[in-house]
């Protein structure tokens, strides 16, 4: 089925740069932080990743939309092909939107899906030039502006985005005997799926839920959007939980929150790591993993207190990709071992965590 693009639209950056193109998706304007992702596939998963809340996403791979969007199938209480229940990006920027799509699982086009959820897109611009600009200048505020409309800039890092994407109530998934308490700061569905595949019960709680005196066997801190220092309640509860010495595992934002709870510090990266091809080496070894990533902040290892060690390092820029305690069952990684999209080289981290939980019961 054909899927037309139409109408003049521009991407305007805070530094005054303007990229003109053609509209697809919803014919509306939107503002946010402009970031780029270097992955070749996986736009249904990326667009529904809560970590992209408040951001306009630039896809560096030029051809986007050719395999459409899958159906909203539900499995074990979660959407099977998406990472949350809705699109979280503010807008989408691509070089060449495919007006024709073809895939056995496709139920709609990317543009139709974006229209239904009120998300604008812009195609026909030089995303290579745009990415080079963001790499040299750093992440910038920007806005997708439809012809004739006026809209201001919006800085998502000035608000607690986690509070916007976290669930409002406690929910239980699975029936296993081992209880994993998952603090949902913007959790991707495949993290929950990864635990359910391993036969455990997942107790999902809101970001500010006080879990310090609740019964659980292992504690998991999820991914999520924005500045980790905005999550004051999560950091406070996690700091108290570290005193109980039950196993703790964190992914992405969870890595930053664990560092802050332990007494360390975090900082904003120039343009972040987003894509499915980020190489990470395990500290003290020559072992390198290709990982899926989506983050704009990182842990400052120089601020970590005694007993904490660097576990993984980004092979491109040397930034922290994981921390681990020398003697206690606490560890976290900055990348996404659950993938979706991306390589599954590090799924063994779930097994490691659950083995430690099992041994400590």
Residues 345, 223 share a domain: yes
Residue 278 sits at φ, ψ, to 5 deg, of -90, 120
* Per-residue pLDDT at 4: 67
* Residue 141 placed within a domain: yes
In Å, how far are 254, 274, 351 from 348, measured between CA atoms? 18, 22, 5
Residues 138, 181 share a domain: no
If one counts the domains in the chain, the total is 2
Residue carrying the six token digits 């083995």? 355
* Per-residue pLDDT at 7: 84
Residues 318, 211 share a domain: yes
Residues 124, 48 share a domain: yes
Residues 170, 89 share a domain: no
Determine the Cα–Cα distance for residues 25 and 5; give it in Å rounded to an integer: 8
Determine the Cα–Cα distance for residues 331 and 322; give it in Å rounded to an integer: 7
* Per-residue pLDDT at 1: 45
**CATH number (domain holding residue 147):** 3.50.30.20
Residues 145, 170 share a domain: no
pTM of the model: 0.96
Is the link from the previous residue into 38 a cis peptide, with omega within 30 of 0? no
Sheet holding 218-221, edge to edge: 171-173, 201-206, 179-184, 218-221, 248-251, 330-333, 320-325, 308-314, 265-282, 288-300
Active site amino acids: 252, 336, 338
* Residue 226 placed within a domain: yes
DSSP secondary structure letters along 177-227? SSEEEEEESS--HHHHHHHHTTT-EEEEEETT---TTS--SEEEE---SS-
Residues 170, 100 share a domain: no
Helices and strands (H and E) in the chain: how many: 8, 23
Q: Residue 183 belongs to what H/E stretch?
A: strand 179-184
Helix 253-262, helix 232-242: angle, nearest 10: 60
Residues 349, 241 share a domain: yes
Residues 221, 127 share a domain: no
* The last residue of a domain, from among 130, 158, 186: 158
Residues 190, 121 share a domain: no
* Residue 293 placed within a domain: yes
* DSSP bridge pairs for 274: 294
Question: Comparing C-alpha atoms, which of 39, 37, 38, 33 is closest to residue 11?
Answer: 33
| Residues lower than pLDDT 70 in the chain | 1-2, 4, 361
- As a whole number of Å, the CA-based R_g of the chain is 20
Determine the Cα–Cα distance for residues 262 and 7; give it in Å rounded to an integer: 51
Question: Comparing C-alpha atoms, which of 232, 239, 237, 189 is closest to residue 209?
Answer: 237
Q: Residue 267 belongs to what H/E stretch?
A: strand 265-282
Among positive and negative, which fits the CA dihedral 130, 131, 137, 139? positive
Determine the Cα–Cα distance for residues 213 and 291; give it in Å rounded to an integer: 35
* Residue 2 placed within a domain: no
CA dihedral of residues 70, 72, 78, 82 (deg, nearest 10): 40
| Phi-psi label, residue 193: left if phi above 0, alpha if psi -120 to 50, beta otherwise | alpha
* Residue 216 placed within a domain: yes
8 Å CB contact between 114 and 87 = yes
DSSP secondary structure letters along 30-61? EEEEEEEE--SS-HHHHHT-GGGTTEEEEE-S
Residues 265, 197 share a domain: yes
* Per-residue pLDDT at 139: 95
Cβ-in-10-Å burial (0-12, 13-18, 19+) of 15 comes to exposed
* The last residue of a domain, from among 158, 188, 221: 158
* Per-residue pLDDT at 27: 96
Q: Domain residues for 61?
A: 8-158
Residues 173, 104 share a domain: no
Q: What does pLDDT average to over the chain?
A: 96
* Residue 3 placed within a domain: no
* Per-residue pLDDT at 2: 54
- β-strands 8-13, 18-25 pairing: antiparallel
* The last residue of a domain, from among 158, 180, 200: 158
* Residue 175 placed within a domain: yes
**CATH number (domain holding residue 234):** 3.40.50.880
- β-strands 30-37, 140-146 pairing: antiparallel
Determine the Cα–Cα distance for residues 183 and 248; give it in Å rounded to an integer: 11
């Amino acid at each position: 089925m054909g899927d037309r693009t139409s109408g003049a639209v521009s991407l305007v950056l805070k530094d005054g740069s303007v990229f003109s193109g053609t509209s697809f998706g919803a014919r509306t304007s939107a503002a946010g932080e402009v970031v780029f992702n270097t992955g070749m596939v996986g736009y249904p998963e990326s667009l529904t990743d809560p970590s992209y809340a408040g951001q306009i996403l630039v896809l560096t791979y030029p051809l986007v939309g050719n395999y459409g969007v899958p159906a909203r199938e539900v499995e074990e209480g979660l959407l099977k092909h998406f990472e949350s229940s809705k699109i979280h990006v503010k807008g989408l920027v691509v070089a060449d939107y495919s007006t024709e799509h073809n895939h056995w699982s496709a139920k709609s086009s990317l543009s139709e899906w974006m229209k239904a959820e009120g998300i604008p897109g812009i195609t026909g611009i030089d995303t290579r030039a745009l990415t080079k600009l963001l790499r040299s200048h750093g992440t910038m505020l920007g806005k997708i502006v439809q012809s004739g409309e006026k809209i201001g800039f919006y800085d998502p890092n000035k608000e607690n985005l986690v509070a916007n994407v976290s669930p409002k109530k406690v929910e239980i998934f699975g029936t296993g005997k081992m209880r994993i308490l998952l603090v949902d700061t913007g959790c991707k569905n495949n993290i929950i799926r990864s635990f359910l595949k391993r036969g455990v019960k997942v107790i999902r709680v809101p970001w500010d839920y006080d879990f310090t005196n609740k019964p659980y066997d292992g504690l998991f801190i999820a991914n999520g959007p924005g500045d980790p220092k905005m999550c004051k309640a999560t950091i406070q509860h996690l700091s108290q939980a570290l005193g109980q010495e039950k196993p703790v595992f964190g992914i992405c934002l969870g890595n930053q929150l664990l560092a802050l709870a332990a007494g360390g510090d975090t900082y904003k990266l120039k343009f972040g790591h987003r894509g499915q091809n980020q190489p990470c080496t395990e500290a003290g070894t020559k072992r390198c993993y290709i990982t899926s990533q989506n983050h704009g902040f990182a842990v400052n290892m120089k601020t970590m207190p005694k007993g904490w060690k660097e576990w993984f390092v980004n092979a491109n820029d040397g930034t922290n990709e994981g921390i681990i305690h020398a003697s206690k069952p606490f560890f976290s990684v900055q990348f996404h071992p659950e993938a979706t999209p991306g390589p599954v080289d590090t799924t063994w981290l779930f097994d490691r965590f659950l083995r430690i939980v099992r041994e400590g019961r």
